[in-house]
Every structure is written in C-alpha cells, then in structure tokens.
Amino acid sequence: MSRHTPRKERWTQVSAKEYRSAFGMVCYKAGAWEGAVVFERWTEGETPPWQPDEEFAGRFKRPRNAMIAVEDKARLILREHGDKVKIAIDA
C-alpha cells in the first residue's frame, strides 16, 4: 500500500491566483477557481503521435475543491483511455 502524499507536496503555488501540478493547473478567473487537466493523447496516423491535450474540470469557490476535481478528472481520463493517454499521476 502506498503512503499518502499531502496536497501541499502534489501542488505548487505559482502566484496568488494559480496552482500547478504535474497533471494539471488551477487558476482564479472571473470570480471562481477553474481547474484543468493537462495530458497527452495518442492519435493515429499523425506526426508526432502524442498530441498535448487539456480537459476542463470545473469552476469552484475554493482552490482546494478545484484541486480535488482536477485529480479526480485525471484518474477518470486515465481509467477510460488506458494506454492511449499519458498523465503524470499515480492512479
């Protein structure tokens, strides 16, 4: 069983309105905290085959809630697509 990693170790505060992680970002925009998952998706027949992609995780009142939503969305994407995505998260 793996050891729990605290949120402060998973997320880095870049500025007063932005937090970043290896798998996503949380920014304060237009009165709410918005989260987005950043990952690479496998595409058939294109060069290069791994294309960068981003998926919106939602708008929240607090940065902590947005961070949790980004982590959940990253796990969901990883479970749905399996080997066709690269996300820097421990599932």
Tell me what pLDDT residue 90 has: 59
**pLDDT mean over 29-52:** 90
71 C-beta neighbours (distance < 10 Å), count = 20
Q: How confident is the model at residue 43 (pLDDT cuts 50, 70, 90)?
A: confident
Global confidence as pTM: 0.86
User: Cα–Cα distance between 41 and 36 in angstroms, integer?
Assistant: 15
Whole-number Å distance between alpha carbons of 88 and 1: 19
* pLDDT of residue 49 exceeding 90: no
